[in-house]
Structure 1
Amino acid sequence: MSAVPVAGAAPERVGMYRWRICAMLLAATTINYIDRQVLGVLAPFLQDEIGWSEIEYGYIVTAFQAAYAIGLLCTGAIIDRFGTRVGYALAISVWSLAAMSHSLAATVVGFMLARFVLGLGEAGNFPAAIKTVAEWFPRRERALATGIFNSGSNIGAIVAPLLVPLIAVSLGWQAAFLFTGALSAAWLVTWLLMYRAPEQHPRLSQAELAHIRSDPPEPTVRVPWAHILRHRQAWTFIAAKFITDPIWWFFLFWLPKFLHSEHGLSLLGLGLPLVAIFVLADVGSIMGGWLAGRFIRMGWSVNRARKSAMLVCALCVVPIVFAAQADNLWVAVALIGLATAGHQGWAANVFTLTSDMFPRHAVASVVGIGGFAGAIGGMMIATFTGFLLHTTGSYLPVFLMAGSAYLIALLVVHLLAPRLEPARLEDKAAT
């Protein structure tokens, strides 16, 4: 059957099974973020229950970040080796068991071990999901499919503070870890029953398979990391991720503790403020990408449009310096929400820098390297924040760092890539 006529046919004749696969990726990403946030939501109360210090909590968070960084370097090769079906199943098996193992932890070391294994497993989600999209969607649909499954990160950040406190208050904190781990296990069973490669799937029509394979063959040239790292454009992205990703990790793991200690919120009381903060983050993610596109449609160069949008997003984070001293809860929530919106808008543009400066066949490698750098930065700030809070008891220095990080990162980006000129990899692409 010819692919071209089918690709041009009406959507209802092509079939929609690929979107069921996309829904599975959305569910996995949502569960991924719920699992990783359970500890952050429960942290203020586990600190009293287990008796850990601020420094020890920093070590617990650092253990997750270290494993996540290692996982980002390793899981892609594992998924390529065993295939998407088995590779994704291995990743979620690890993080499901790790999530439930938190319920057995009774010491700082126990939580560190559970978080480390969780980080290893959860690092496989995005490489596996992106590879699945490449297998199941033609190029013209991949951005939409990726946007859909990636929205699970914000959905998970919103669901966790609503769901986890209810379970913990009703059944105990151990039940919260068991329940979210069970969600992962349920997804795993569904995945193994439902997923096959498109060519092997019994429920996929020939018309939809032809639609999925309607693109010309994609280049498979591999660019070694050593060659990528010779280019300033790569270090532009790496620096941006290293400087600003830690701020997002701080938001995920320390905001519940901040709201509890500074504003006296109970476990159930955390839900609405955290939901408001992460809904604003979702809005910022959309608006940050829209703003750069709007500037380009106005006739601005990509360089000017991208950096102007990044500047607006960076300025949105600056007012967070006042959140540490805000007496009113909702003033603090508004300032933090504006900052999370700024981060997500910033992140949308930073990820786009890779496609601005690198050919498509190198983008995934650049993103992987940058993700590793961001996780390393997150690991460092987790340990530093623990020591800082233990020593000073104040969140002001951390918020000062957050408020200045994005402007510093934008300056570094501009110095390393003043015109966002493309990297020239062609000569070494096959080495």
Structure 2
Amino acid sequence: MTSPPTQEKTLSGLQQAAGKVGKYRWRILALLFVATTINYVDRSIIGVLGPTLQNHVFHWTNTEYSNINFAFMIAYGLGMLLMGGLVDRVGTKIGYALSIGIWSIFSLSHALVTRSMGWIGFAVARFGLGIGEAGNFPSCIKTVAEWFPKKERAFATGIFNAGTNIGAILAPLIIPLVVMNDGTNWQFAFCITFVFSAIWLVLWLTTYRKPEVHPRVGKAELDHILSDTTAENSERLPWRRVFGLKETWAFAILKTTDAVWWFYLFWGGFFLHAQFGLELKGLALPMITIYVISDVGSIVGGWLSSAFIKRGWSINKSRKVTLLLCALLILPVAFATQTDNQWVAVVLIGLAAGGHQAWSANIFTVVSDVFPKKATASVVGIGGMVGALASAMANLGLGRVLDSSGKSGYFFAFLIAGSLYLTVLLIIHLMIPKMTPRDEHLRYVHK
């Protein structure tokens, strides 16, 4: 195994090195970024449009809205488990294509829901959307593991993960252009990404191969990709083999923080509406601000741990110090309900969302740090299932609390959102203090 180079000190150095060894892997990363952006436009529509649909079209209670989100999250959790194993079994190219095809069809199906169907019609559409969208992150993490050396993976993950924020920014930017404050034309909001999904599918199916067999990847770039890892062999590794490993469940515990991200995504607009009286068009700028800050967090968080590694820190120290900084950045969001100034609340939520995205970029990378490439999608799927189930229960509980106690229920939601990350990080450090990697037979690699 070749020792990783140490001369790259900064992002500019990384880009210069990319130019010398070839840069086709960055084109693959661009496809991941675009797909994740489409994914989050589809996913974010309900959070942006939710108050309008609740007040002017379907007249849902908070409990009924939480039931819609519960259906999505249960499907997302089930889909994570199924899609993670499927992507490892059939490969990234076919697995990812199936995922985006399914979620695009079910995104369109929302526009067919009538008032007589009520929240149940939306719940069915969201269930199908959840199954399809569950394949995005297992596919992306596996692709990054296939195409990037470990020293670049957190940065690459931060870049494609930034697509979540771009999608969340585009949703409140585009939806008010086609939907009125009274809900007129709401169906159009669920049709806007289908064409882009179809174009992406064509590009993916005609472009993607593993780097070892890709005709556009030269020897220098392939050597760089494999500089601190090895090529994946063809032997299959069933997901049940990783199910009992403590590292799998450490990642799953890290993913329980997804409940906080889904809270921002699905309830952020509702909170700003309840606390400050913002309608659809008034929500646009605050929500865009939150997700712009999130975007910065995603990229900087991925870059930071990679920068620590390039300074000679161990992977274990680099990832965990970055996670600690993220947790400390998130902590002040507990005070979001204690201000009468909407922009103070928006900045607190934005910083917390940015901290979460930096956290996510690093915990996803932990999987490829510890597990062989052939197991990454399965482990991400198992962890994603746990995160989705935690999110489902949190959504279900919050809807009922809000119906019974009014907007004061948000106090406890933000308190938990601010304190959860430090608690989880302590647990993980006790579970895997050294983050020792495993080989393709899942045995520890001792250096």
1:39 and 2:46 matched: yes
Q: Quick one: structure 1 residues 15 and 332, their matched pair in 2 at CA, closer, same or farther if it must change by over 3 Å?
A: closer
Unaligned runs of 5+ in 1: 1-9
Structure 2 match to 1:350: 363
Structure 1 match to 2:108: 100
| Contact residue 96 and residue 182 of structure 1 kept, 8 A | no
Q: CA deviation at 1:15?
A: 8.0
> Counterpart amino acid of 1:116?
F
* Corresponding residue to 1:52 among 60, 64, 75: 60
Q: CA deviation at 1:262?
A: 1.0
1:420 and 2:434 matched: yes
1:324-339 alignment to 2 at 5 Å?
A: 324-339=337-352
1:235 and 2:221 matched: no
Q: Tell me, in whole angstroms, the C-alpha distance in 2 between the residues paired with 1:302 and 1:188.
A: 35
1:64 and 2:72 matched: yes
Q: TM-score when scaled to structure 1?
A: 0.83
Structure 2 match to 1:127: 138
Q: Secondary structure at the match of 2:81?
A: helix
Q: Quick one: structure 1 residues 52 and 247, their matched pair in 2 at CA, closer, same or farther if it must change by over 3 Å?
A: same
1:168 and 2:216 matched: no
Q: CA deviation at 1:294?
A: 5.6
Q: Tell me, in whole angstroms, the C-alpha distance in 1 between the residues paired with 2:254 and 2:18.
A: 40
Q: Secondary structure at the match of 1:412?
A: helix
| Contact residue 88 and residue 378 of structure 2 kept, 8 A | no
Q: CA deviation at 1:58?
A: 0.7
Structure 2 match to 1:159: 170
How many residues get paired? Answer: 413
* Corresponding residue to 2:289 among 276, 279, 297: 276
Q: Which shows bigger deviation, 299-308 or 10-19?
A: 10-19
Q: Quick one: structure 1 residues 102 and 282, their matched pair in 2 at CA, closer, same or farther if it must change by over 3 Å?
A: same
Q: CA deviation at 1:165?
A: 1.9
Q: CA deviation at 1:72?
A: 1.5
1:409 and 2:417 matched: no
1:284-295 alignment to 2 at 5 Å?
A: 284-292=297-305
Q: Tell me, in whole angstroms, the C-alpha distance in 2 between the residues paired with 1:213 and 1:298.
A: 24
CA deviations 1:374-418 (Å, max 9, x no partner) are 11111111111111111111211111111121122122113323x
Q: CA deviation at 1:358?
A: 4.0
> Counterpart amino acid of 1:54?
N
Q: Tell me, in whole angstroms, the C-alpha distance in 1 between the residues paired with 2:270 and 2:102.
A: 27
1:247 and 2:255 matched: no
Q: Quick one: structure 1 residues 384 and 359, their matched pair in 2 at CA, closer, same or farther if it must change by over 3 Å?
A: same
| Contact residue 161 and residue 274 of structure 1 kept, 8 A | yes
1:317 and 2:325 matched: no
CA deviations 1:231-281 (Å, max 9, x no partner) are 433322221212x11101111111011111211112111111111111111
| Contact residue 31 and residue 204 of structure 2 kept, 8 A | yes
Q: Which shows bigger deviation, 145-154 or 267-276?
A: 145-154
Q: Secondary structure at the match of 1:166?
A: helix
Q: TM-score when scaled to structure 2?
A: 0.80
Structure 2 match to 1:110: 121
Q: Quick one: structure 1 residues 260 and 229, their matched pair in 2 at CA, closer, same or farther if it must change by over 3 Å?
A: same
CA deviations 1:65-115 (Å, max 9, x no partner) are 111111112224444565555543332222122111111213100000000
> Counterpart amino acid of 1:372?
M
1:399 and 2:414 matched: yes
> Counterpart amino acid of 2:109?
S
Q: Quick one: structure 1 residues 232 and 96, their matched pair in 2 at CA, closer, same or farther if it must change by over 3 Å?
A: closer
1:23 and 2:37 matched: no
Q: CA deviation at 1:139?
A: 4.8
> Counterpart amino acid of 1:413?
I
Q: Quick one: structure 1 residues 359 and 405, their matched pair in 2 at CA, closer, same or farther if it must change by over 3 Å?
A: same
Q: Tell me, in whole angstroms, the C-alpha distance in 1 between the residues paired with 2:216 and 2:202.
A: 28
Q: CA deviation at 1:122?
A: 1.2
Q: Tell me, in whole angstroms, the C-alpha distance in 2 between the residues paired with 1:78 and 1:71.
A: 10
| Contact residue 55 and residue 387 of structure 1 kept, 8 A | yes
Q: Tell me, in whole angstroms, the C-alpha distance in 1 between the residues paired with 2:235 and 2:323.
A: 32
> How big is the alpha-carbon RMSD for the aligned residues of Structure 1 and Structure 2?
3.4
Q: CA deviation at 1:311?
A: 2.5
| Contact residue 285 and residue 348 of structure 1 kept, 8 A | yes
Q: Secondary structure at the match of 1:265?
A: coil
CA deviations 1:44-68 (Å, max 9, x no partner) are 1111120111111111011111111
> Counterpart amino acid of 2:320?
K
Q: Secondary structure at the match of 1:151?
A: helix
Q: Tell me, in whole angstroms, the C-alpha distance in 2 between the residues paired with 1:349 and 1:139.
A: 15
1:340 and 2:353 matched: yes
Q: Quick one: structure 1 residues 352 and 18, their matched pair in 2 at CA, closer, same or farther if it must change by over 3 Å?
A: closer
Q: Tell me, in whole angstroms, the C-alpha distance in 1 between the residues paired with 2:100 and 2:380.
A: 21
Identity of aligned residues (%): 49
Structure 1 match to 2:193: 180
Q: Secondary structure at the match of 1:169?
A: coil
> Counterpart amino acid of 2:355?
G
CA deviations 1:19-66 (Å, max 9, x no partner) are 555433322221111001011100011111201111111110111111
Q: CA deviation at 1:168?
A: 1.2
Q: CA deviation at 1:150?
A: 3.2
